[in-house]
Structure 1
């Protein structure tokens, strides 16, 4: 405590005042001088005890701050009476809790990043291995027909890799928060027709019919490009699970409270075990025939929720999968 320069200055000043007061008291009357000395001793002892108690609490706070800075767990800051130290303790407690929350978030983010990188590496390794195998077969294939077939399969694998990489880049941009969504009026009928356009050839080859029913004037506010990306990812999932001679039904419900887009396919639907995790990143389903990379639906949900909407999936009572996108008014 006496290492503090201010305390030393106060002690010197107090001693000077005490000496002057005692000298004046003794000059007037010996009893007055004694009373001045006793009063100074009592005040000095009270000041010393009070200051020592404050320094003890400050030392405790300093220790707590040091433990926080060294990432100590279970840091306990005792309650204090009313006053400046109580306010300081309260602020330090808030700081401690905030730092812990940030540390926990950083640990989770670090773990998530490591898991994501491992998943990405695994997702890319599969088509790369297949492409290398195709190239080896292509090199040793003597027949022209066989070479063309292998070349088509290799090209398809590279297209899948391109889609996967682009989707991962979009997810990373969304995760980083660098995407700024535009606000514009998007007509639902035009959105659905535009979303279906890239799949027309594939639908004709597999004899898949599609119907679109949307009220005139039904619209939502959002980013047209990103919302189109989300709808196409859902359509891609529906078409992959519909099979030949299937049907795709797209409809819109426009009410005073919300605008809802419903997409239903005529496929086998989802396993009950898969439903809770359909929109989880890199989740591919438990069934033996599960395909895809577990990216499309995760990207879809991120896009829609970031624009204030919701997306859900379920099985239709009459068969097939149903996706519902809803935007509140």
Structure 2
């Protein structure tokens, strides 16, 4: 308490005033002097005890804050009567609760980062191992046709790794919130054609077809390039699940509240245990293709939801996977 300079100054000033008034009182009469001296002593003692109690409360709050700063899991501060200290206590409790929530969030982010790095390392290890093995076979092969085959296999593995790294970079940018989406009216038919165009050759090689059932001049608002990326990942998933001679049907409906896209393939659909985790990062379901990494659908959901839309997936009643996308007006 006496470490407080203002309190020391007040105590000195009080003693000086009390001494002067007592001296004046004694000059008037002995009784007056003792009365002034007694009054000053009582007042000083009451003020000292009251201030000491307040400082005890402040010390308690300070010690509890120190515990919180040293990662104590619980903060206990005795309830105070209404007043300045009570207001201060309330603000400190809110502050410490916020600090604890931020610490918990940081711990979760560190755990998530560690898990993500482990997943990335695991996902990259498979094509890297395959590429190294193919290069070893290529080195020991003398047949020209066989060597060309090994070169193509190595190139395919490198392309897969490049796609994975590109997708992870996009996901990290979305996580960091550095992506600025354009919000412009887009014709749904042109957007779908833009998404299907890069898949034309793989679809032809697989004898895979796409049927579009779209009303004329349906518009949605969003970022053309990012939405095309999201749709393309969904189409890739349909191609992988439906296999050779597969088919995807795209329907569109429009109402005053939202525009709905339904994308359905004729594959085996999803295993029931996979449905709750389809959009989880790095999750590869029971029927997942051996070439999948489990990031395409996660990226699609992030792109769509960050632009105000929604995406769900289920098994269609007549068979196959059914993705439902909704874009609000």
TM-score in terms of structure 2 length: 0.96
Q: CA–CA distance in 2 between the matches of 1:145 and 1:6?
A: 92
1:8-87, aligned counterparts within 5 Å? 8-87=8-87
Q: In the TM superposition, what is the alpha-carbon distance from 1:68 to its structure 2 partner?
A: 2.4
**Number of aligned residues:** 329
Q: In the TM superposition, what is the alpha-carbon distance from 1:29 to its structure 2 partner?
A: 2.8
**Which whole-Å deviations, capped at 9, do the CAs of 1:255-278 have from their partners, x for residues lacking one?**
101011111000000000000000
Q: Judging changes above 3 Å, is the alpha-carbon distance between structure 1 residues 78 and 217 closer, same or farther for their aligned structure 2 residues?
A: farther
**Matched residue SS, 1:285:** coil
Whether the 8 Å contact between 1:167 and 1:296 is mirrored in structure 2 is yes
Whether the 8 Å contact between 1:301 and 1:311 is mirrored in structure 2 is yes
Give 1:315's aligned residue: 315
In terms of mean alpha carbon deviation, does 143-152 or 87-96 score higher? 143-152
Q: In the TM superposition, what is the alpha-carbon distance from 1:287 to its structure 2 partner?
A: 4.6
**Which whole-Å deviations, capped at 9, do the CAs of 1:89-148 have from their partners, x for residues lacking one?**
111111101111111111111111111011101101100000111111122223222222
Q: CA–CA distance in 2 between the matches of 1:317 and 1:224?
A: 31
**Matched residue SS, 2:273:** coil
The question of 1:226 aligning with 2:229 is answered: no
Give 1:203's aligned residue: 203
Q: CA–CA distance in 1 between the matches of 2:256 and 2:135?
A: 57
Q: In the TM superposition, what is the alpha-carbon distance from 1:58 to its structure 2 partner?
A: 1.2
1:188-199, aligned counterparts within 5 Å? 188-199=188-199
**Which whole-Å deviations, capped at 9, do the CAs of 1:28-65 have from their partners, x for residues lacking one?**
23222222122112111110011101111111122122
The question of 1:281 aligning with 2:281 is answered: yes
Q: Which runs of 5+ in 2 are unaligned?
A: none
Q: Judging changes above 3 Å, is the alpha-carbon distance between structure 1 residues 19 and 47 closer, same or farther for their aligned structure 2 residues?
A: same
Q: In the TM superposition, what is the alpha-carbon distance from 1:159 to its structure 2 partner?
A: 1.0
1:92-111, aligned counterparts within 5 Å? 92-111=92-111
Q: Judging changes above 3 Å, is the alpha-carbon distance between structure 1 residues 294 and 104 closer, same or farther for their aligned structure 2 residues?
A: same
**Matched residue SS, 2:230:** helix
Whether the 8 Å contact between 2:269 and 2:320 is mirrored in structure 1 is yes
CA RMSD of aligned residues (A): 1.5
Q: In the TM superposition, what is the alpha-carbon distance from 1:289 to its structure 2 partner?
A: 5.9
Whether the 8 Å contact between 2:241 and 2:288 is mirrored in structure 1 is no
Give 1:217's aligned residue: 217
Q: In the TM superposition, what is the alpha-carbon distance from 1:288 to its structure 2 partner?
A: 7.9
Q: In the TM superposition, what is the alpha-carbon distance from 1:5 to its structure 2 partner?
A: 2.2
Whether the 8 Å contact between 1:218 and 1:254 is mirrored in structure 2 is yes
TM-score in terms of structure 1 length: 0.96
Q: CA–CA distance in 2 between the matches of 1:265 and 1:312?
A: 15
